[in-house]
């Protein structure tokens, strides 16, 4: 029979699927002998059952009764007892922590009777009534779905009436009145009184957690993070301990290392005489953990021991929530802590140096996405800047954008293509859509562990919190600071590392990690005067070098010019996987191709082509020089034709206007001729039309010219003692016959140049596999191709029948919302469909030609998840944009260590 409810003492950290992250880690802490208040976890399986049938399975209620009695026995208090009542916390805890679902209810079990028992038992009436008002407030909001403002308005009104500013200053009598008012709100808003039966409170809270799996916010977060919608959440029910029992009590959050810098040490926030959410909500400003050392040395020492034990056990930075109840330490939660990208690299190498993890494990703990963040430019310190405030740098990066004060305007601004900074007094889970839309987040209140900070770090988004000089007036939609008044839409700049806030735009420069990538470790470190950044650069260097050592995939770049190629090479590219030669003819040179395409006869066309030859030789010399000694795949021209011709509508209008005005002359005649030609070649679906090899076969001189230019460039470079390594690639092959024709032509040209120059020109000739038919007939194509390169952009377009130019804006948002897609297949390879064609292509190709070299040059070549797929599929290399090269190197290494290939090779 399925067991739906487990005591903490029954589980361990490997059971995250069943117990959720929080439950599994609580179980692990119990196993480690740390002081955890007793409790139990209701499994994700129970939640899934609830979501399927729409009600809590009766077995769950029975098991809850049994485990509740176990907790009562362990702690010696009973739920609803008139002398020593047991109070409980009820929290959600899914496998992945989800800021969209912070549904926590504390003090469950309090009612009009037990509030008196609690007061007597704790010897503190004020505390008891404060706990009761918190229960009604949290229960009202989370379980009964009452707008939280009803409660905060009442609390505020009572504070004003009592002439106090902080909640803690309200007396027991005040709080009794608050409770009475809160109960009225509940009755008014729900039509029923606040539930007085403790067990009923427990059951309602559990069901509310299950329900909260499907809140709008949680769904949004899951979509963004690509977390499956059917995992469900676990529920943790735990005996309450109290941080609000006076000055010897308190609650806090800490990290075993600084989550921003990675340095080992004491790092955290502590709030005396407070409960649970007060710290993360950033409502009151917290003390540093070191202050706890002075206030309560014994509890502090015990906490430090627990921190060390957890870090040793998890062999990683842990993030901990704790409460001190009258001098006794209780551990409420731990997990492997979220961290900034820089800290991830530093922590990983520090743990290696402390001999807690191996280099391979260190590589598992950093991601290409994090490396990508470290490559982002930073603010130029020497630029003119108007500094207006400094808060805490909570998540690094540099962001510039227009101010938005709420979700709707943040999203609207972002959708119209403008960068936005979300500015809030403090953030709450409701702000998630705005945070997703924003380039950066700025708050006036809250510490480094506040909601805004934690969520922004998780998203890799720049954040500055607690900039207290800012008066954020959301109602008036303005920020006042000193003599400045900033309105919605005004530009500000925030530095998530230093916490600085600037008015207006600020220019940016290369990050130190970027300088390392392009100039090497010595040069990068030589520029640096601060120790932390130096450590970061060295950590990245060590991990990237290790990735280079273990990876099997080669990493090439997509680059079209000598300059791009050089940039790619500087970043560690081991060749060019794709030079899109059509890009060499965009801009001013576009008309050269136009002349070739629109030529009236062979003579005119040959003349146009002859003009192109010297320029193409120059292009290839530049490219091959930059990539000297490394493989350089040059793709023969692949335009959708319309990209090289004037626009049909523009031309039609120009001609019609000229006709109407009776204009004549050379220009008009030229336009008329052009219009005729453009009409003749006009296509309804240019992406499925005269492109790639089709154009090459229709206008043979075009490919011939390019092949000749490649050969000539090789000859000239060899004469200079260089070692050019071009590979000729034919695009959009669907049939082997197409390749046979192009290959024959190419071989003739190469032989001709060879004969004239006396040089051997054994240049490989291969093709793109970017149409489903090419993948399905790869065994035949491999008879003719020396190599394959998967064009996963077109392969995605043609497999799904999605126009790559249109669909992402046309209907992907809808598809992402309703779950048809979890991410754009143009971004991350659709492993099930397009990936299957890639596998078939490799397998069939190599069945004809064992060891056939195969790479990928679509955008997916730089996408971490897709790189792991390509590694497993047995490709030889990935090719991506020069900027992504370091990311691809790191991920190619991670792909190996994560699949344990290292040990077997």
Q: Which residues are catalytic?
A: 451, 857
CB of 392 to ligand PEP, least distance (A): 43
CB of 815 to ligand PEP, least distance (A): 21
> Nearer Cβ to ligand PEP, position 564 or 638?
638
> Nearer Cβ to ligand PEP, position 403 or 730?
730
DSSP 293-352: HHH-HHHHHHHHHHHHHHHHHHTS-EEEEEEEETTEEEEEEEEEPP--HHHHHHHHHHHH
Site string for ligand PEP, 503-532 (x = CB under 6 A): ------------------------------
> Nearer Cβ to ligand PEP, position 128 or 730?
730
3-state secondary structure of 767: strand
Site string for ligand PEP, 336-375 (x = CB under 6 A): ----------------------------------------
User: Candidates 181-189, 271-279, 328-336, 785-793 — which segment interacts with ligand PEP by CB under 6 A?
Assistant: 785-793
CB of 732 to Mg ion, least distance (A): 7
CB of 839 to Mg ion, least distance (A): 19
Report residue 889: phi and psi, to 5°. -60, -45
User: Candidates 301-309, 365-373, 587-595, 792-800 — which segment interacts with ligand PEP by CB under 6 A?
Assistant: 792-800
Residues 6+ apart with CB under 8 A from 876: 553, 554, 853, 854, 855
As given in the structure block, the two tokens for residue 143 are 């379980």
Contact criterion met (CB below 8 Å) for 793 and 687: no
As given in the structure block, the two tokens for residue 460 are 């890799």
Per-residue b/e over 21-51, b at no fewer than 16 CB within 10 Å? bbbbbbbbbbbbebebbbbbbbbbbbbbbbb
CB of 855 to ligand PEP, least distance (A): 11
CB of 768 to ligand PEP, least distance (A): 7
791 binds ligand PEP (CB under 6 A): yes
Which residues bind to Mg ion, rule: CB under 5 A? 770, 791, 794
Whole-angstrom Cα distance, residue 42 to residue 60? Answer: 8
857 binds, among ligand PEP, Mg ion, none (CB under 5 to 8 A by kind): ligand PEP
858 binds, among ligand PEP, Mg ion, none (CB under 5 to 8 A by kind): ligand PEP
Which residues between 113 and 152 bind ligand PEP (CB under 6 A)?
none
CB of 794 to Mg ion, least distance (A): 4
Contact criterion met (CB below 8 Å) for 462 and 494: yes
As given in the structure block, the two tokens for residue 613 are 């030859």
651 binds, among Mg ion, ligand PEP, none (CB under 5 to 8 A by kind): none
Whole-angstrom Cα distance, residue 375 to residue 39? Answer: 45
Contact criterion met (CB below 8 Å) for 78 and 91: no
Contact criterion met (CB below 8 Å) for 26 and 8: yes
3-state secondary structure of 899: coil
> Nearer Cβ to ligand PEP, position 438 or 579?
579
* Contact pick of 794, 830, 863, 891 for ligand PEP (by CB under 6 A): 794
As given in the structure block, the two tokens for residue 506 are 């600020």
Whole-angstrom Cα distance, residue 56 to residue 339? Answer: 36
Estimate the crossing angle of helix 700-719 against helix 736-757, to 10 degrees.
Answer: 40
302 binds ligand PEP (CB under 6 A): no
Query: CB neighbours (10 Å) of residue 612?
Result: 22
As given in the structure block, the two tokens for residue 108 are 């469950």
Site string for ligand PEP, 629-648 (x = CB under 6 A): ---------x----------
Q: What is the largest CA-CA distance in the chain?
A: 105
Site string for ligand PEP, 549-588 (x = CB under 6 A): -----------------------------x-x--------
793 binds ligand PEP (CB under 6 A): yes
> Nearer Cβ to ligand PEP, position 427 or 584?
584
580 binds, among ligand PEP, Mg ion, none (CB under 5 to 8 A by kind): ligand PEP
Which residues between 731 and 750 bind ligand PEP (CB under 6 A)?
none
R_g of the chain, CA atoms, integer Å: 33
Binding site for ligand PEP (CB under 6 A): 578, 580, 638, 770, 791-794, 857-858
């Amino acid at each position: 029979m399925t067991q739906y409810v487990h005591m903490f003492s029954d589980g361990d950290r490997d059971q995250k699927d069943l117990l959720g992250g929080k439950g599994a880690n609580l179980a692990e802490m119990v196993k480690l002998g740390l002081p955890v208040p007793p409790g139990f976890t209701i499994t994700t399986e129970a939640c899934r059952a609830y979501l399927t049938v729409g009600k809590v399975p009766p077995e769950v209620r029975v098991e809850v009764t049994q485990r509740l009695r176990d907790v009562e026995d362990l702690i010696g208090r009973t739920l609803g007892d008139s002398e020593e009542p047991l109070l409980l916390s009820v929290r959600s805890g899914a496998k992945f922590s989800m800021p969209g679902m912070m549904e926590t209810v504390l003090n469950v079990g309090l009612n009009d009777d037990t509030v008196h028992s609690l007061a007597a038992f704790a010897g503190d009436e004020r505390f008891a009534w404060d706990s009761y008002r918190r229960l009604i407030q949290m229960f009202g909001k989370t379980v009964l779905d009452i707008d939280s403002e009803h409660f905060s308005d009442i609390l505020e009104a009572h504070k004003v009436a009592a002439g106090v500013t902080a909640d803690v200053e309200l007396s027991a009598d005040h709080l009794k009145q608050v409770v009475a008012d809160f109960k009225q709100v509940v009755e008014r808003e729900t039509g029923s009184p606040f539930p007085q039966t403790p067990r009923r409170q427990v059951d309602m809270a559990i069901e509310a957690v299950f329900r909260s799996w499907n809140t709008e916010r949680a769904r949004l977060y899951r979509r963004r993070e690509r977390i499956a919608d059917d995992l469900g959440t676990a529920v943790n029910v735990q005996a309450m301990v109290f941080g609000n029992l006076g000055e010897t009590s308190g609650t806090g959050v800490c990290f075993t290392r600084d989550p921003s810098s990675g340095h080992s040490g004491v790092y955290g926030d502590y709030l005396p005489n407070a409960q649970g959410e007060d710290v993360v909500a950033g409502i009151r400003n917290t003390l540093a953990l070191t202050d706890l050392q002075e206030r309560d040395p014994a509890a502090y020492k015990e906490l430090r021991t627990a921190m060390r034990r957890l870090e040793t056990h998890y062999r990683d930075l842990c993030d901990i929530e704790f409460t001190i109840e009258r001098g006794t330490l209780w551990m409420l939660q731990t997990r492997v802590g979220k961290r900034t990208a820089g800290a991830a690299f530093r922590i990983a190498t520090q743990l290696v140096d402390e001999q807690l993890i191996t280099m391979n494990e260190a590589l598992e703990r950093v991601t290409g996405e994090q490396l990508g963040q470290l490559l982002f430019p930073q603010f130029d310190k020497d630029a003119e800047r108007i500094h207006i405030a400094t808060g805490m740098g909570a998540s690094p990066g540099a962001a510039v954008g227009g101010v938005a004060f709420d979700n709707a305007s943040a999203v609207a601004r972002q959708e119209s293509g403008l960068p936005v900074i979300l500015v809030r007094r403090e953030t709450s889970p409701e702000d998630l859509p705005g945070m997703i839309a924003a380039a950066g987040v700025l708050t006036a209140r809250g510490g480094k562990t506040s909601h805004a900070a934690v969520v922004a770090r998780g998203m890799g988004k720049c954040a500055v919190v607690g900039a207290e000089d800012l008066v954020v007036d959301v109602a008036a939609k303005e920020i006042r600071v000193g003599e400045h008044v900033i309105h919605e839409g005004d530009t500000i700049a925030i530095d998530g590392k230093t916490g600085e806030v600037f008015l207006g735009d600020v220019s940016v420069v290369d990050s130190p990690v970027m300088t390392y990538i392009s100039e090497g470790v010595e040069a990068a470190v030589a520029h640096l005067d601060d120790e932390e950044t130096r450590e970061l650069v060295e950590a990245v260097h060590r991990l990237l070098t290790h990735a280079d050592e273990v990876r099997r995939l080669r990493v090439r770049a997509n680059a079209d010019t000598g300059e791009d190629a050089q940039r790619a090479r500087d970043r560690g590219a081991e060749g060019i996987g794709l030079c899109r030669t059509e890009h060499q003819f965009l801009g001013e040179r576009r008309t050269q191709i136009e002349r070739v395409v629109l030529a009236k006869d062979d003579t005119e066309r040959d003349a146009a082509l002859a003009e192109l030859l010297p320029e193409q030789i120059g292009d290839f010399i530049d490219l091959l020089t930059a990539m000297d000694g490394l493989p350089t795949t040059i793709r023969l021209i692949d335009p959708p034709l319309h990209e090289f011709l004037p626009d049909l509508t523009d031309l039609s209008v120009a001609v019609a206007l000229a006709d109407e005005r009776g204009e004549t002359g050379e220009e008009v005649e030229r336009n008329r001729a052009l219009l005729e030609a453009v009409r003749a070649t006009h296509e309804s679906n240019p992406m499925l039309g005269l492109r790639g090899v089709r154009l090459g076969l229709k206008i043979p001189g075009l490919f011939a010219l390019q092949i000749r230019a490649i050969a000539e460039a090789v000859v000239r470079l060899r004469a200079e003692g260089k070692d050019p390594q071009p590979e000729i690639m034919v695009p959009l092959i669907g049939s082997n016959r197409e390749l046979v024709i192009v290959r024959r032509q190419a071989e003739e040209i190469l032989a001709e140049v060879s004969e004239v120059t006396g040089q051997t020109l054994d240049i490989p000739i291969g093709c793109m596999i970017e149409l489903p038919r090419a993948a399905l007939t790869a065994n035949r194509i491999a008879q003719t191709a020396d190599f394959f390169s998967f064009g996963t952009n077109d392969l995605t377009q043609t497999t799904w029948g999605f126009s790559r130019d249109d669909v992402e804006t046309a209907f992907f948002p809808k598809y992402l919302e309703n779950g048809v897609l979890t991410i754009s297949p143009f971004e991350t390879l659709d492993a099930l469909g397009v990936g299957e064609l890639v596998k078939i292509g490799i397998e069939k190709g190599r069945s004809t030609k064992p060891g056939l070299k195969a790479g990928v040059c679509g955008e997916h070549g730089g996408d971490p998840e897709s790189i792991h797929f390509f590694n497993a599929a047995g490709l030889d290399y990935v090719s991506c944009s020069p900027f992504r090269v370091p990311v691809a190197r790191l991920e190619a290494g991670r792909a190996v260590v994560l699949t344990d290939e290292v040990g077997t090779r």
